[in-house]
Structure 1
């Protein structure tokens, strides 16, 4: 068993790995500490759509669990070849909501040797915040980190010095919104029902973690970074260009509107669009547009809308350093 899963041996030092399994994607980060900073050795992502249909049925499908476990098995092989000594596997919204999440846990343990930690929303929010601010020094504190996933969106306020000051997780994400309001997948859709629902959840989030108490808004994760590629006019995915980029409200709204109104086929042809995100990006763009507009309305003195390529995946890795 230890030969298959060397991270069970409890060795200190060396390389660590983090796996983040969300509603839509599963991601792997391998890295090590160097001169007091965390250095990436590998960062990769695959769309597996673990949460397909879970909002409607309450269950993870057998096919979705199998897809995810097969990808996790590939990640375990990559970790073995890279010489990883410690591994943490975190699962979020879809597995948190599913009645049969024990089936998912068993499949992942068979694939990687450890059970996934199905974290609650507040812990997910804290990991996202830690990852986002770990290498984003330009944003003025206090900041609010917005992590839009496939099944949930985290709103986290804090500062690099004080850490998390407030957080809330809302059950809205790109996959969940798209499945709940299928009309938004059409070109130039009627978004009225979806927007009303999204805004009602933003109201609840803003009551818990007010936009008025922060100086900067920081968006993280695949929805936001994909929209940012459009805002930057990129011809391919370029994490270095995306990270620490700053936008006006209008720039971000314009790019969100493009994602909302374009056809799925057109979105699939974008050179920076990961296969498997093109049919749910409109739902994520609706969430991000409504959040940035609400933040600007509630806080006219907001000093910046930032984007970070670092997020919960980095927070998971840093938690085991």
Structure 2
């Protein structure tokens, strides 16, 4: 399958039990870059299974556990040196999360760590800053299924972190019911996003950073659509987001969204994610937002690696590269 013995660096695994997707990645942090050895991603849509009382449905729990079983089988074959399993916003919210966590831990034979929004932001910044090194002050945005993390930092240090309980999945469910897309729905979604985000956005205004990046599925999907349709080179701009919002409204329903670069499984959460992105670009004065090739899972792997290193050796000596497996 994979020869982990070739580069003399441990194989490290991260499992991210997110609100939209569950992800497993095995990678190595090398002197000259990051090597991805294995990955598996499934759109579990765990957050869509939360009812009004904050309980996960039995169907959502079973969807999640089916995926966890696959991860356990992968780990049994790959035998990475160290593994960290993290769970995020949906399981932070779910009143019956212990039921899911108990079964997941039994399947994996590993503890599942329910991380805070602050820790999630720290790990996201760790992954982005390692794979996209820069001396400039940087804003990083990560829009998940039920939460949005914003981080400002420089070099490898996060200096301000906020986590907001709003995401692409939750906003899509609330303002684009049954997948219907309307201009009124976008206006309502943007107002709802602003109500949650605005009270803490002063610390993320343009005066605090020199460049902006976005990680995770929403930004990657929007970037791919803009690039494939020749709107931008993949850069997210206010004008480009308006173009995509107009295309969504013209389609009228998520099932009618047929755009190059848009995967079928991402359609249901695209409108909510777009509403959050557009709100943030407008409120934070972001003229250009670049899509990062790193997110929470890479941050977990980088963090595992650096925790095992002497403090003096933790900073990379040269710009790392993403090395093909």
Tell whether the structures are fold-level matches, with TM greater than 0.5.
yes
Partner of 1:32: 28
Shift of 1:184: 8.7
1:98-137 Cα deviation digits (max 9, x unpaired): 1111111101112211121111111111111111221123
1:206 to 194, 198, 201: 201
- Residue 97 (structure 1) aligned with residue 93 (structure 2): yes
Partner of 2:295: 311
Which residues of 2 match residues 94-173 of structure 1 at below 5 A?
94-137=90-133, 141-161=136-156, 163-173=157-167
C-alpha contact 2:104 2:112 (8 A) present in aligned 1: yes
Classify 1:25/1:214 alpha carbon distance in 2 versus 1 (closer, same or farther; 3 Å).
same
- Residue 276 (structure 1) aligned with residue 270 (structure 2): no
Residue correspondences, number: 295
Classify 1:123/1:53 alpha carbon distance in 2 versus 1 (closer, same or farther; 3 Å).
same
Runs of 4+ aligned residues of structure 1 deviating over 4 Å after TM superposition are none
1:215 to 210, 213, 221: 210
C-alpha contact 1:143 1:215 (8 A) present in aligned 2: yes
Q: TM-score w.r.t. structure 1 length?
A: 0.84
1:180 to 161, 174, 178: 174
C-alpha contact 1:31 1:38 (8 A) present in aligned 2: yes
Classify 1:154/1:65 alpha carbon distance in 2 versus 1 (closer, same or farther; 3 Å).
same
Classify 1:53/1:65 alpha carbon distance in 2 versus 1 (closer, same or farther; 3 Å).
closer
Unpaired segments of 5 or more residues in structure 2? 1-7, 306-325
Classify 1:184/1:205 alpha carbon distance in 2 versus 1 (closer, same or farther; 3 Å).
farther
Partner of 1:74: 70
C-alpha contact 1:146 1:153 (8 A) present in aligned 2: yes
Shift of 1:49: 1.1
Q: CA RMSD in A?
A: 2.5
**Residues of 1 paired with 2:136 and 2:131: CA distance?**
14
**Residues of 1 paired with 2:92 and 2:259: CA distance?**
32
Shift of 1:157: 0.5
SS at match of 2:41: strand
Unpaired segments of 5 or more residues in structure 1? 1-11, 236-240
Partner of 1:320: 304
Classify 1:216/1:40 alpha carbon distance in 2 versus 1 (closer, same or farther; 3 Å).
same
C-alpha contact 2:140 2:213 (8 A) present in aligned 1: yes
C-alpha contact 1:70 1:111 (8 A) present in aligned 2: no
**Residues of 1 paired with 2:260 and 2:68: CA distance?**
26
Shift of 1:234: 6.4
Shift of 1:21: 1.0
- Residue 65 (structure 1) aligned with residue 54 (structure 2): no
Partner of 2:277: 288
Shift of 1:93: 0.4
Q: TM-score w.r.t. structure 2 length?
A: 0.83
C-alpha contact 1:47 1:275 (8 A) present in aligned 2: no
SS at match of 2:47: coil
1:194 to 186, 189, 195: 189
**Residues of 2 paired with 1:86 and 1:261: CA distance?**
48
Partner of 1:249: 238
